[in-house]
Structure 1
Amino acid sequence: MNNNTPVTPRPLRPLGHDVRHRVLSAAQLREHGVAAARAAAQCRAGGPWQQPLPGVYLLHPGPPTSEERLHAVLLYAGRPGPEGAKSVPAQPGSSSGGRPAAASGSASSRSASSRPASRSASPYGGVMITGLAALALHGFGSTPGLRALDLIDVLVPRTRRLRSTRFARLIRAHSLPRPELVTGVPVAPVARAVADAVAELSDAAVVRALLTESVRGGHCEPSSLVRELSQARLLARPHVVDAVDALLAEGRSLAEGRLYEMVRTYALPDPVWNVDLRLPGGPHLGGVDAYWPEQAVAVELDTRAPRVGGPGGPQDDDAIWAEYARKREHLERLGVTVVHLTPRKLRESLEQQAMVVGTALTAADERDPAAYVEVLPR
């Protein structure tokens, strides 16, 4: 018995509408009783099949559809290596798909905190579509359609012993994020897909459009996107830094707009907006986004993200959170109730956040009077 001998021969199903019946790997063909020699014969000039990628067969002679190309890329990338070769560690500093070594290493090895993908649940071995193709699947309007893409990026384990070839571009990662299923296709989360796309782009307008749509379209939070770009070491590129500055400004502006909407829609008392607090003749206590002086209630928007630029590069997220926590604890020791809201909470559950703020305002009469603080315009 050799590798061409089928283990459990089964008849091939009719092509039908299921892409899984139209695109099969060599291993799947063997399960159906089709030996490698027969598959090769079917792919000869004028034959009924074709081989769009090594080890992957399209069971009709016409051009592959976008869905078939995606499926072919996933089948190619999901196998351990050419002719069943075992995976071996990639060489340090190697890149994939023409990506510069610095960008490739970061875009590939980042997201140590990402949850590992479930390998057993996917017929593709845990690999997933990323980059522009993933964004097109996520519904981005600023990306080319799948038919217009010459290359389809696919995220694979760093030890996968395969090369980018034809329309499949492999991007290697030490730790894979958990994929999201879009029309049955495993795709990288938006923030990761954007970072992988930006790694291949030099057009500042295109980069800015992608980042803006990510936030404006509600696909992801600015903080998660900037974190991925930082881990990809893309913040050293001036056109990316400029786009990130615009992104952070837009993200805060959108969150502030939702906060104004919450106060108006749910008839909360009018606060004073965007003010600094300090003790009379004493130290500065920090800025807040909304403050109700009579109830001593403050709302602070958490739009934190790794800071870009400067000699130290991106600031660690833990340090930013510690800064928030110190300010909140100081204010609460003075009797000021601080309500901490995130852009996601305002976007996904505005009424619930209004109830949280309303409860804090109502409970003011039951608390001890707060220390007097000065309110200054910010």
Structure 2
Amino acid sequence: MVHPVRQRLGNVSGRAQAGAVRRGSWAENPLLGKPIVIRAETLESLGVPRRTINHRCERGVWQMLLRGILLLSNGEPTDEHLVQAAILHGREEAMLTGIWALRRYGLENLPAPKDVHILLPPDRKISSARFVHVETTTRLPSPRTRQGIPCAPVHRAVLDAVRRLKGDDTILAIMAEAVQRGRCTVDMLARELDQGCSRGAAKPRRALIPLLGGARSVAEADAWRLWQRAGLPPCHWNVKIVDGQGHHIATPDAWADEVALAWEIDSRKHHGQGDDYLETLARNTRYTQAGIVLLQTAPARLRTEPDKVRAELRAAYRTAQARPRPEARIST
């Protein structure tokens, strides 16, 4: 499958034809022997004649990625070439945002980007072009440099990305990963939603609700919604539980402190094999030894059998309520 951004590039790479090109002293510059992204005006300042630039692009020795921005190579542009070209297109104060910026922050649960999204000050008269999406904003943040590229802060990059997406699960997954990995907080996302553009904000606002409740993934968000519909007292999400002596027991997905009930959303992928499986067995043993009632639910059942899961939740809560509460507590 052709990468969306590369598909928009079109046939930008040619093949060099035979024959020599007359060169000046600029040809001795080691910079020009590398596959770099550079402005045509910068090449001219290095002594490369405009006619030579045009001729090399026509012959496929170099290629024009954007107007006035070249790749000094006839090979396929890399992701890094595209990002560098986008920043050069935006000129001063341009910064990367959206999915491409989140990649540089180390997030992984991301869809393939359709274009390279950059932010500019509101007075700029620079338009989107080819694979570059230009957005001017009165709320231009202070950039963070990542691998040599100015990037919007994570919380801003997240919201800039999800406002342009459609899938609810995709939006929630991106927001949840940013929070779970510690790249930003839920409060930072909430403030950005309140202060930022309202266009495309409806779905991120819905996704934010379970995150504010403590959910850290799509599955946990589904579980959070089911708990609300089960008619049970409020519970805690992702809190560390210790026994009466202060020894760590586990960090359940959901914890009903009033009755010492733990609810774990355990997928086969992460808990069914190898070391993860052994750790799950050890965790369950600690729950049993501490007298904690444990309910385990497969993530898929949260959507395929929500009524049954709600009934199981209520039954588990009644069971926990019927026995003396153990000394297990939330760690402070």
| TM value normalised by structure 2 | 0.56
Instruction: Tell me: CA distance 1:256–1:57, structure 2 relative to 1, closer, same or farther (3 Å).
Output: same
Change (3 A) 1:237 1:12: same
Q: Is the 8 A contact 1:11 1:32 kept in 2?
A: no
Q: 1:140 aligned to 2:107?
A: yes
Q: Distance in 2 between matches of 1:162 and 1:231?
A: 25
Task: Tell me the residue number matched to 1:127.
Answer: 94
Encode CA deviations 1:72-124: one digit per residue, 9 max, x unaligned.
1111111xxxxxxxxxxxxxxxxxxxxxxxxxxxxxxxxxxxxxxxxxxxxxx
- In the alignment, what sits opposite 2:153? 189
Q: Who is 2:132 aligned against? A: 168
Q: State the Cα deviation string for residues 315-363 of structure 1 (Å, max 9, x = none).
A: xxxxxxxxxxxxxxxxxxxxxxxxxxxxxxxxxxxxxxx9xx8xxxxxx
- In the alignment, residue 247 of structure 1 is paired with which amino acid? L
Which residue number corresponds to residue 11 of structure 2? none
Q: Is the 8 A contact 1:222 1:251 kept in 2?
A: no
Residue 47 of structure 1 and its aligned partner are, at CA, apart by 2.5
Q: 1:265 to 1:176 in 2, by over 3 A?
A: farther
Partner Cα distance (1:222, 1:64) in 2: 36
Whether contact under 8 Å (1:234, 1:240) holds in the other structure is no
Matches within 5 A, 1:15-26: 22-26=36-40
The equivalent residue for 2:41 is 27
8 Å Cα contact 1:10-1:31 kept in structure 2: no
Aligned to 1:65, which of 75, 78, 85? 78
Decide whether aligned partners of structure 1 residues 174 and 12 sit closer, same or farther in structure 2, where only a CA change above 3 A counts: farther
Alignment of 1:212-361 (within 5 A): 212-234=176-198, 237-250=201-214, 257=238, 264=246
Q: Name which of 143, 154, 158 aligns with 2:122.
A: 158
Contact 1:73–1:168, Cα closer than 8 Å, also in 2: yes
What is the CA-CA distance between 1:250 and the residue it aligns to?
A: 2.1
d(CA) in 2 for partners of 1:236, 1:167: 21
For 1:22 and 1:195, how far apart are their aligned partners in 2? Answer: 31
Counterpart of 2:88 in structure 1 is 75
2:215–2:238 Cα contact (<8 Å) kept:
no
Unaligned runs of 5+ in 1: 1-8, 79-124, 267-272, 276-353, 358-378
Match of 1:211 in 2: 175
Matched, 1:54 2:21: no
What is the one-letter code of the residue matched to 2:51?
A: A
Unaligned 5+ segments in structure 2 are: 1-25, 217-223, 225-235, 249-255, 259-330
1:42 is matched with which residue?
56
Code of the residue aligned with 2:105 in structure 1: it is H
Per-residue deviation, 1:247: 1.5
Q: Which moved more, 1:151-160 or 1:242-251?
A: 242-251
- Distance of 1:26 and 1:233 partners within structure 2: 35
Moved over 3 A (4+): 9-12, 14-17, 233-238, 255-261, 263-266
For residues 156 and 22 of structure 1, the distance between their equivalents in structure 2, rounded to whole angstroms, comes to: 23
Deviation of residue 189 (structure 1)?
Answer: 0.7
Question: 1:7-64, CA deviations, whole angstroms, 9 ceiling, x for partnerless residues?
Answer: xx795324577xxx611112211221123332222111x3211110111011011111
SS in 2 for 1:166: coil
1:164–1:235 distance in 2 versus 1, CA, 3 Å: closer
**Per-residue CA shift, 1:171-223, capped at 9, x if unaligned?**
11224212112222211111000111122112111111111111111110111
Letter in 1 for 2:55: A
RMSD across aligned positions (CA): 3.4
Distance change >3 Å, CA 257–CA 204, structure 1 → 2? closer
Q: How big is the shift at 1:162?
A: 0.8
> Offset of 1:136 from its aligned partner?
1.3
CA distance in 1, matches of 2:189, 2:151: 16
Describe the shift of the 1:27–1:15 C-alpha distance in structure 2 as closer, same or farther (beyond 3 A): closer
- Which one-letter code corresponds to 2:145 in the other structure? L
* Alpha-carbon separation, structure 1, partners of 2:239 and 2:94: 37
Bigger shift: residues 24-33 or 218-227: 24-33
Contact 1:10 1:32 in 2 (8 A): no
